[in-house]
Structure formats: C-alpha cells, structure tokens
A and B are shown apart, each in its own frame.
Chain A
Amino acid sequence: MNSELAGRRVGGTGRHNEPMKVLLAEDEEDIQRLATLGLRKRKDWQVVLAGDGEECLVLARSEHPDVILLDVMMPNLDGFATCEQLKADAATRDIPVIFLTASAQEREEQRGLAKGAIGYLRKPFDPLQLPQQVLDLLVQTGHNPTSSE
C-alpha cells in the first residue's frame, strides 16, 4: 500500500439507490487526494484507492467498482498492462476503464484506447470537473451510470 488511504473506501453515504463506486489507481498521494476530493463532491460517490496496478487488479475483483480511473506510470504494473489484464479477466472485463495520466502524447492515448479503455483524460485535470468528465464518458460509451448527482 502506497498510501494511508490505499485500499480504503473514502466517503460514500449511499443517499441514492446505488452509490457510484470509483476505483482510482494512482501512485502519487497528492493526486490521489485531489482526485478523491473532486470525486467526492458528488455526495453519493465512493472512491476506492489503489497505489499501483497490481493492487488495482485485486481491488477490481473484490470491490466490483462501477468505473476504474487508471494512471499509466505506476510501480509494479503500469496502467497499460493493468488495463490489459483487467480486460483479459472475465470478472473485471466489463468494468469501464478511463485513463487519468500525465502521459500526454497522442500515440499513448491511442495505445490506451486500444487496450479497451473508454476514455483518456490528461493531467493536469480540474478535480471539480472530474466527476462530470467521468459521467460524460460513461454516457457517451453507453455505460449507464448508477447515479448522476
């Protein structure tokens, strides 16, 4: 665990029918916190944190998130390899994956999308805009978000 928050569920009061559960795989603690603060602006969103790709694979299976936000450059297993393994596993292949990364080049985006991700968001990102960007991508790709407020 790279963070005191890693693997812990943060927030999520479940005020609506089903809270949206976001698994965020990110090795930088500052960015984990900023993204979590932004995502939790939606009161019924839960954020589960993974500090690297391997942890992300474990938590994807145990936590059944609604969406996975995936950094690319992470220790142990990078985001591209993590996405590949998520898509190869019947238990996780249907979970939409969105890259959230400082790897900003177009060929990297193409590579990420080729691994089966539904979106590619570049850092820096505005934490307050992040939940809406996630929802927009889910809607655009025909994934029905479990909550929208």
Chain B
Amino acid sequence: MSAPNPKTVSPRAILAEADVLRALLDAAATPAFALDTDQRVFFLNRAFADLLRLSPEVLPGKSIPELVDLMATGLADPAAYRARLEAVAADHEKTAVEQMDYNTDVRLSFKEISQPIRLPDGGLLGRLFLYLDVTREKELDQTKSEFISIASHELRTPMTSIKGSLDLLLGGFAGDVNDETRELLVIAHSGCERLIRLINDILDLSKIEAGKMQLRLQRMSLVDSVQRSVRTIKSYADSLNVKLAVEAAEPLPEVLGDKDRLDQVITNLLGNAIKFSPPEATVTVAVRLVEGGVECRVIDTGPGIPGDQVDRIFDKFHQVAGPSRKKGGTGLGLTIARALVVEHNGRIWAESQVGRGSQFSFTIPAAPAA
C-alpha cells in the first residue's frame, strides 16, 4: 500500500467524519432535522425521531406534507405548521425563530430555530431545524404570573380595609380630627397609596413580561392624551406648587394607540417631572411632528440625572441614588412606560444635565392615512 496523499481525503475518512457528526447530533437531546433544497428530509437525529415516536429510518426522503402528516397527532394546527415550514424552507438567507407546541403524553413547548445550511464553498445544502425544549420555562412563567395575580388579589383585600378606613376617618366620618391626628392619618394614607401603586405596577410588569399586555389600539390624538394626563395630575402639581405648560402648535396626525396606556405613560413622566421639580418651577409637555410619527417631550428643571445613570433609568427598580430615593416612587414606572411605548412600536429615551433638568421623550408612529 502506498502512503496516502496528504492533500486528498479518502472517502472512508469522509464517511468516518460523517459518522462522528451523526453520533454527536444523535447524542444531543435537542430534536433536529434538516430539509434539502427540494424540501425533503435528508437528515434527522434520534431525539427528533423519539419526539415523533417513529423509527429514524422512516423519515429520510419525506416531503414537508408527508412529514407533517406523520406529526399531525401532536400538532394543534398541522395546516399552519405545514405552511410555516414551507415558507421558512423557501427562505435561503435568514434564521427564523418560532414557537411550536407538540403534544405527546404531555404538552411540550419548543422554540424552533431554523437556518440555512451552507457548504464552505457557499453552496446551499438545505435548512436545519432545531427544537429547543422550553416547556419548563413556560411553566415557570405561568406559575409566576399566577402567583403575582393571586398575590395582587390577596394584598388588595386588606389594603381595601386599611385605605377605606383611613378615607372615612380623613373624610370626617367619625367626627373632626385634630391636626396632629390628621397628619398621622395622611402619612398612613399615602403609604397605602404607594403600596397600591406598587401592586398595580407589579401586575402591569408581569403582564408585559409574559407578553399578555393587550393594547386596545384606535386612532387617537396624542395631544388629547396629554390634556387628559395634565388634568389628572394637576392637583398633584398644585400640591407641590409646580406649574404645567402644554406646547402643541402645528396640526398633528393621529396615532394608533391605546388611550388608557398612553395616558399612563404621560402621567408617569409628568409625575416624575413634577416630583423632582423645585417649587415655582414649570414642567413643560411639548408635542410635535417628527418623521414617521408624533413625539411627546416632558421637560423639567429638576436636579437632573448623572450621565452614568441616564441609560439605566428605565431599568426595573432603578432609582437615582441620593435624595431622590426618598421621593416615594415604586421604581417600576419608567420600566412600564418604556414597555408600553415599545408595545406601540414607539421609542422612548431620556436626556439630562445635572443641575439643569431632564427631558423624557417618546415617539408613537402616526396612524395610517384614513
């Protein structure tokens, strides 16, 4: 036997390498299969065959409709799955991520990741589909949402008793209260209100994180939303002797928004601006047309936010260190505001200068022409 030429690879070596790769993929717990450019199965691993409870030999060569027929009992909507596989298989460029539920004895949830397979010379071999089992994560999310929902309900009931009693006492229901007593009752009452805001915020955030925030979108005016929010928050501004100004000059297009939720965003930004403004200061809300949408800016002349904290201001429970921590926020308002704006396909950001003030801005895309 002559020595092998180092520049050529023997067919046996190629087959051995293929066997190694096949063994590696078979050993993986992640179900996977691949379609060739004719959209037929040319590869699958043992985990995929096990998921389908089929012998691995049955599947190679199967077309998408044949494959989906074999999977039909496990799929909630086989036709939709087939349509998606066909669409994704025809895409030779992009990675796609989808959710897929598959019922065996139990309901399993997968994240389906698929991407084109290319040879080193750039030639297209087909498309690989990987199924990451996210059943446990989904169960945990569900448990978390249920826990928060129950905790919210159970906290609300005693809060109703405490706050209701304080409302009645402060309303003079049990007779006049002297100034010292009133001051203590007001402290207890504002503590209650803070707890209720926290409960509401946690509930909102849990919904947003679970992707269950349902917006009721309609054509609406962002300026109307600003006016409503200003009316809502005026008594709070008055109590801190802060003035409110609205600037909205040009005629503005309508946006596609959820009124209650956009009011919530603006009220939150206004509340922060008022809270951090010195007495006699003015908080300005300016609404203007920008490319692709309408922009709303809330401008204050408060202490400002240090540069290194501006980007983190929207993070959960992030509050600027220093005296502002004593201002009684939940640390969730801006996180929720950002999530709500993003749900509207908008953008939200903050600019600030220490000693000069802060400006919080967000944009909402204009509604399509009627």
Residues of A within 8 A of B (CB): 28, 30-31, 34-35, 37-38, 41, 73, 102-107, 122-129
Q: Could you say which of A73, A102, A127 contacts B167, with CB atoms under 8 Å apart?
A: A127
Q: Could you say which of A31, A103, A107 contacts B164, with CB atoms under 8 Å apart?
A: A31
> How far is B156's CA from A28's CA once the two chains are assembled, in angstroms?
12
Inter-chain contact A125/B214, CB cutoff 8 Å: no
> How far is B161's CA from A38's CA once the two chains are assembled, in angstroms?
13
Q: Could you say which of A103, A105, A107, A128 contacts B168, with CB atoms under 8 Å apart?
A: A128
Inter-chain contact A106/B214, CB cutoff 8 Å: yes
Question: Of A41, A104, A124, A125, which is in contact with the most chain B CB atoms at under 10 Å from its CB?
Answer: A124
Beyond A124-B192, A124-B196, A128-B173, is A102–B160 a contact (Cβ under 8 Å)?
yes
Q: Could you say which of B159, B173, B214 contacts A124, with CB atoms under 8 Å apart?
A: B159
Determine the chain B residues whose CB is within 8 A of the CB of A124 once the complex forms. Answer: 156, 159-160, 162-164, 192, 196
Q: Which of B170-205 contact A (CB under 8 A)?
A: 171, 173, 192, 196, 200, 203
Determine the chain A residues whose CB is within 8 A of the CB of B196 once the complex forms. Answer: 124
Inter-chain contact B168/A104, CB cutoff 8 Å: no
Q: How far is the CB of B160 from chain A (nearest CB, A)?
A: 4
Inter-chain contact A34/B200, CB cutoff 8 Å: no
20 extra A-B contacts, CB within 8 A, seeds A34-B164, A128-B167: A28-B160, A30-B160, A30-B161, A31-B160, A31-B164, A34-B160, A35-B164, A41-B173, A102-B153, A102-B160, A105-B149, A123-B156, A124-B156, A124-B159, A124-B160, A124-B163, A126-B167, A127-B164, A127-B167, A128-B171
Residues of B within 8 A of A (CB): 149, 152-154, 156-157, 159-165, 167-168, 171, 173, 192, 196, 200, 203, 207, 214
Q: A71's closest neighbor in chain B, by CB? A: B157
Beyond A102-B153, A124-B192, is A34–B159 a contact (Cβ under 8 Å)?
no
Q: 19 A-B pairs, CB-CB below 8 angstroms?
A: A30-B160, A30-B161, A34-B164, A37-B168, A37-B173, A102-B152, A102-B153, A102-B154, A103-B153, A104-B153, A104-B203, A106-B214, A107-B214, A124-B162, A124-B164, A124-B196, A126-B163, A128-B168, A128-B173
Q: B200's closest neighbor in chain A, by CB? A: A104
Determine the chain A residues whose CB is within 8 A of the CB of B192 once the complex forms. Answer: 124
> How far is B200's CA from A66's CA once the two chains are assembled, in angstroms?
32
Determine the chain B residues whose CB is within 8 A of the CB of A107 once the complex forms. Answer: 214
The 6 closest A-B pairs by CB, nearest first: A102-B156, A34-B164, A124-B160, A123-B160, A30-B161, A124-B163
Q: Could you say which of B153, B160, B200 contacts A73, with CB atoms under 8 Å apart?
A: B153
Q: How far is the CB of B218 from chain A (nearest CB, A)?
A: 15
Q: How far is the CB of A26 from chain B (nearest CB, A)?
A: 10
> How far is B165's CA from A126's CA once the two chains are assembled, in angstroms?
9
Q: How far is the CB of B272 from chain A (nearest CB, A)?
A: 23
Determine the chain A residues whose CB is within 8 A of the CB of B152 once the complex forms. Answer: 102, 104-105
> How far is B168's CA from A31's CA once the two chains are assembled, in angstroms?
12
> How far is B196's CA from A41's CA once the two chains are assembled, in angstroms?
25
Determine the chain A residues whose CB is within 8 A of the CB of B214 once the complex forms. Answer: 106-107
Inter-chain contact A105/B165, CB cutoff 8 Å: no
> How far is B8's CA from A21's CA once the two chains are assembled, in angstroms?
96
> How far is B160's CA from A37's CA once the two chains are assembled, in angstroms?
14
Determine the chain B residues whose CB is within 8 A of the CB of A123 once the complex forms. Answer: 156-157, 159-160
